[in-house]
Structure 1
Amino acid sequence: MKKALILASLLALGAAAHAETATYAIDPTHTYATFEILHFGTSTNRARFEKKEGTVQFDRAAKTGKVEINFDMSGISSGSTAFDKHLSSKDFFDVATFPTAKFVGDKFSFSGDKVTTVAGELTLKGKTAPVTLKANNFNCYQSPMLKREVCGGDFETVIDRTQWGVDYGLAYGFSKDVKIIIQVEAVKQ
């Protein structure tokens, strides 16, 4: 009898912990993914991905989660039509052949209740490699307008673009290092 009560209690605790996982939808109006690369050691070229969507599965109690963000590569925007066209070409992202990119992260690290990193994989130009995003800010709040919980933060990483076959300009002295900054907010569903 005592063993049955202990087993039932453990099962109930496991079910309660699992029930705390919530699904959040990426809010495209508060989510921006940008990248920047040093241009001849003089200035920084920047652009962003305008079209993105995704979801986050998040369990604060268990300190686990999974994020999946898809980027429509036709939405590259640098503020310069000519540069956007070049970024979309085979020299860089080859958008005609590889129209989407994706980040999937499932290894969340915490400091207290705050997410500090999300590790996962970035798929770009048909190649997948590990990436860890560092959280510079992380917070959850009750949105007064949406009447729902919103979680998000500012995340960043530096990647070696050659891992994904983006080698244009290396012979000219362009950096292979690209800084990626993702400002994201996701709404609890």
Structure 2
Amino acid sequence: MGSTPAAGPVAGARYVVDPTHTFVMYEMGHYGTSTNRGRFGTRSGEVRVAADGTQARVEIQFEVASVNTGVDLLNRHLQSKDFFDVANHSTARFVAEAVRIADGRIATLDGQLTLLGRTHPVAIRVLRFNCYTSPLHGRQVCGGDFEGEIQRSLWGMDWGLQFGFEDRVRLLTQLEAVLIGNPPAR
């Protein structure tokens, strides 16, 4: 059973981020030899499309404490004060206030990332975007793959910079959001 293609995001609609299909992954150079990778689970999020359908607001909160690299010892170190300090900052938040929509597709997704109590701008590239009608629940789903890059030191994560852990971190986000309620009348 395949999915049915759907037009772009519905003007004036609200979408709720599906935490089972939304993840933030990171990649960071490790001693100049390999790449350290990890993944965070999503706590919540929503997309609100403007009445004219040309802009949207996106907000996603993800669980920093859920960081998973596949190595328990490394997960615990990342949760410590050296990196994410999850005892004091268990979630991170990305907000994009003016997401541009053109021809039913997301054109830009730049926003603000709040992590460790600090907020800085992040430019996000849209790698893939599509909307479809889910065969599982008959609702429109919009989503895609997105990528950005940050300097972790801007958020106060300096550990390891002096001996081989890179400051540059690549962020890869897989996001899907489900249309909630009936679409607004056109």
TM-score (norm 2): 0.87
- The offset of 1:61, in angstroms, is 4.5
Name the CA distance, whole Å, in 2 between partners of 1:54 and 1:112: 24
Residue 72 of structure 1: how far off its partner (Å): 1.9
Higher relative contact order (Cα pairs below 8 Å, separated by 6+ residues): 2
Shift of 1:28: 1.1
Give RMSD over aligned pairs. Answer: 1.6
Q: CA–CA distance in 2 between the matches of 1:155 and 1:110? A: 15
Unaligned runs of at least 5 residues, structure 1: 1-18
8 A Cα contact 1:25 1:55, kept in partner: yes
Within a 5 Å distance, the mapping from 1:34-183 to structure 2 comes to 34-59=25-50, 61-183=52-174
**Residue type of the alignment partner of 1:114:** R
Cα displacement string for residues 6-45 of structure 1 (whole angstroms, at most 9, x for unaligned residues):
xxxxxxxxxxxxx931111111111111001010111100
For residue 112 of structure 1, report the CA deviation from its aligned partner.
3.1
> What is the one-letter code of the residue matched to 2:76?
K
Q: What is the identity percentage for the equivalent residue pairs of Structure 1 and Structure 2?
A: 44
Contact 1:116–1:136, Cα closer than 8 Å, also in 2 = no
Shift of 1:63: 1.3
3-state secondary structure, aligned to 1:46: strand
CA contact (8 A) 1:49 1:75 kept: yes
- Which has a greater percent of helix? 1
Q: Alpha-carbon deviation of 1:137?
A: 0.5
Alpha-carbon distance in 2 for matches of 1:165, 1:156: 21
Aligned to 2:16: 25
Amino acid at match of 2:151: D
Quote the offset at 1:73 in angstroms. Answer: 1.7
CA distance in 1 between partners of 2:51 and 2:36 (Å): 37
Higher-Rg structure is: 1
Alpha-carbon shift at residue 90 of structure 1 (Å): 0.6
Q: Which runs of 5+ in 2 are unaligned?
A: 1-9, 181-186
Q: Using the TM superposition, give the Cα deviation of residue 50 of structure 1 relative to its aligned residue in structure 2, in angstroms.
A: 2.1
Q: What one-letter code is carried by the residue in structure 1 that aligns with 2:77?
A: H
The one-letter code matched in structure 2 to 1:147 is G
SS of 1:73's equivalent in the other structure is strand
Q: Deviations over 1:103-154 (max 9, x none)?
A: 0111223453321321110000000001121110011111111101000010
- Equivalent pair of 1:49/1:73 in contact (CA under 8 Å): yes
Alpha carbons 1:60, 1:113 under 8 Å: kept: no
Q: Secondary structure at the match of 2:166?
A: coil
